[in-house]
Each structure stands twice: as C-alpha cells, then as structure tokens.
Structure 1
Amino acid sequence: MELIYFLGKTVITFCLYVLILRLWMQQVRVNFHNPITQFIVKVTQPIIGPMRRFIPSVGKFDFATWLLLYLVALIKILFIFSFIPINLPFNVNYLWFALVAILHAMGYLLFWLLLFRAILSWISRGQSVPDEILYQLTEPLMAPIRRFIPPIGMIDVTFAIVAVVLMFMNYFATKIFGALWIIL
C-alpha cells in the first residue's frame, strides 16, 4: 500500500511540475527550440490542445493549462486523502487544498531548478542545453536580487539568498497550513 501511495504521489507531482513548467516557459518566453522545452510541450499538447478549443487563452493567460493544472492538483489532494485512515468526505475545502498543492509544487520546483542551475554552473559553465533552459527559467527571479547584491569576486551569492527565502517561505507555509503542507 505504501508503494502505491509513493508511486501515485510521485507521478501526480511530476505531472504538476510539467504543467507548471509549461506555464512558466510561456510566461518568460523561453527558447522553444530547446529539446527540453519541446519535450514539455509535446507531452502536454495532447491534453491541452483539445482543451484550448473550448477554453481559449485571454492575452498571456492560458486558461486551459491553468485549469488542467488545477484539476491535477485536485486529483493529488483526493489521492492523498484516500490513503488517510480517517474517512474524510469530499467537501469545499478540497478545492482550496488544490490551490495549496499548486503553491507547494511551485516552491519545490523553483528550489530544484535553482539547485540544478547552481550545480551545472560549476560543471558545464553555461555551455549545455539544460543550462540554457535553467537560466531562462530562473534568471527573472535572480536578476532583481543581483542588482542589489552583485557577485562577490567570482562567487554569486544570489542562489543562497533565494534558497534562504524559499526555506523561510516553506517554514512559514508549514506554520500556516500545518499537516496539509507536510503531506503534500
């Protein structure tokens, strides 16, 4: 039973990450000729493409992808609560919990992207395909901080500052949402 829970939660969380990346890539206008970007678009297009016929985008806001992201987050909440021994009937709070699940996934995805970018910066020095996409996704968040705290010699402390802020926000969210944040 624990194996099913772990696998199910991992697959659903991965789906959340892919949908968040698709929205994020559209927002920051990444290079769509990048193989990683093409993979994310091709994986999500079979579902989002037909949804866009009925749910059009308005300006830069992609309603179809946001709706799918919300539905996957709701599925994650329902899946997690189906494994809790206390039988909780479906109620309106689950709709709110799905938004919390999206917020949780965004924070963790951002942390991992920043960590991968930092590690790759030591290894490949910005010369690989993953470096390009990681730069394009994370730089809009790091550039404003870098304006106030420039690199010290050859060391850029921006990642450390953003990581500390994310850890603080994670701690704060744990205090606000309690057990829900922990089990997500």
Structure 2
Amino acid sequence: MFFQIITFLLDVVVGLLTGICLLRLYMQAQRVPFSNPVGRLVFALSDWIVLPLRKVVPPTGRWDASSLIAAFVLQLLQYLLLWLMMGAGAQGLWLPWLALCGLLRVLLSGCIGIVLVYTILSWVQTRSPISQVLERLAEPLLRPVRKVMPLIGGIDLSPLVLLVLLQIAMMVLAYVQAGVLM
C-alpha cells in the first residue's frame, strides 16, 4: 500500500511538472504571449528546471528543446525513483522507454485537458485572458479534424471526435508500452 501511495504522489507531482514543461514548449511554439496569468504560472513553475538547461541547449526557432528535455528528465527521474524503491532487481534498461511513454501519456492527457476546457468555455462564451490562451492552444489541435468533419446541424463535433481519437491514442500507447515490457 505504501508503494502505491508513493507511486500515486510521484505520478501527480511529476506529471504536473512535466505537463507544465510541455505546456511551456507548446505555448512558445504557438507564440502565445506569456504576459497572461497562464503564462506567468507556467514560467513560475518551470523556470527552475528549464533555465539551467537552456544554458546548455539553446532554443532553436520556435521550439525550446530545453523544455522538452526537462519534461523527459522529470519522467526519467520518476521511473528511476520507482525502480530504486522496488529494489532495482529488474534491469534498468527500460527506464528511458518508460520515461518516453510517460512523456507521451502526459502529452496526450494535456491535449485532452486543453480541448475539454476549451470546449466547456466555448459554451459559456467567457472572454477572459485564460479563454483566449486556450483558444490559441486548442485551435491548432482541432483544425485538422475540422477539415475532415463538417458541421452537423450547425454543431461543431470536432472536439468530441478529437477527444475520442486522443483516448484511442492513450489506449494504443498503453498497449505498446506493455507489449515492449513483456
């Protein structure tokens, strides 16, 4: 039971920090200004790990590799801690693979969260700085689905389709991760 509690707490804390690093990467790639409350929160929670890495790995164009590396390192540290807690009996060669799968899981979960919150806020028509940021983050995700899926009765079902596709991607990722480890 103690191991399950530690695993859960590590998953929550490291998952949030990893998500913040990935959100920083995505916001920079989409040229979302960081002068809004979301941007300030992202900077406040990720500067401690991203800025030291940026001295070694400078950003290239719109992509900030140091944010991606920080997210991967956080996932790697999580699985390393869990591996050490289990007694380090099994080979640690799979730790980078587990970290990559964990990174992809956080990425997919973040996309699901962005689309869900964006969709809910679009129903209530709030005009706040957060809704504008979410719009700039969700629209590039929804655009490919909207090209394929027309409005049905004047209703945009592209968020629903994208959420289903993201859930399928999560299932495939879990299957691939389990298949490689077996």
Question: Which deviates the most, 64-73 or 46-55?
Answer: 46-55
Aligned to 2:121: 120
Which of 48, 52, 59 is 1:46 aligned to? 48
* Conserved? CA contact 1:120–1:131, under 8 Å: yes
C-alpha distance in 1 between matches for 2:121 and 2:179: 34
Q: Secondary structure at the match of 2:90?
A: coil
Question: Which deviates the most, 132-141 or 77-86?
Answer: 77-86
Alignment TM-score, normalising by the size of structure 1? 0.85
Aligned to 2:104: 103
C-alpha distance in 1 between matches for 2:89 and 2:179: 16
C-alpha distance in 2 between matches for 1:179 and 1:79: 22
* Conserved? CA contact 1:73–1:101, under 8 Å: yes
Aligned to 2:146: 146
- Structure 2: where are the runs of 5+ without partners? none
1:15-26 residue pairs with structure 2 within 5 A?
15-26=17-28
CA RMSD between the two structures = 2.3
Residues 86 and 59 of structure 1: CA distance in aligned 2, closer, same or farther (over 3 Å): closer
C-alpha distance in 2 between matches for 1:80 and 1:52: 27
Aligned to 1:156: 156
C-alpha distance in 1 between matches for 2:38 and 2:179: 34
* Conserved? CA contact 2:72–2:99, under 8 Å: yes
Residue type of the alignment partner of 1:118 = T
1:180 to partner: Cα distance: 8.5
C-alpha distance in 2 between matches for 1:23 and 1:85: 35
1:1-184 residue pairs with structure 2 within 5 A?
1=2, 2-84=4-86, 87-91=89-93, 93-123=94-124, 125-178=125-178
Residue type of the alignment partner of 2:22 = I
Residues 172 and 4 of structure 1: CA distance in aligned 2, closer, same or farther (over 3 Å): closer
C-alpha distance in 2 between matches for 1:61 and 1:33: 19
Identity of aligned residues (%): 26
- Structure 1: where are the runs of 5+ without partners? none
C-alpha distance in 2 between matches for 1:74 and 1:15: 13
1:99 to partner: Cα distance: 1.2
* Conserved? CA contact 1:56–1:62, under 8 Å: yes
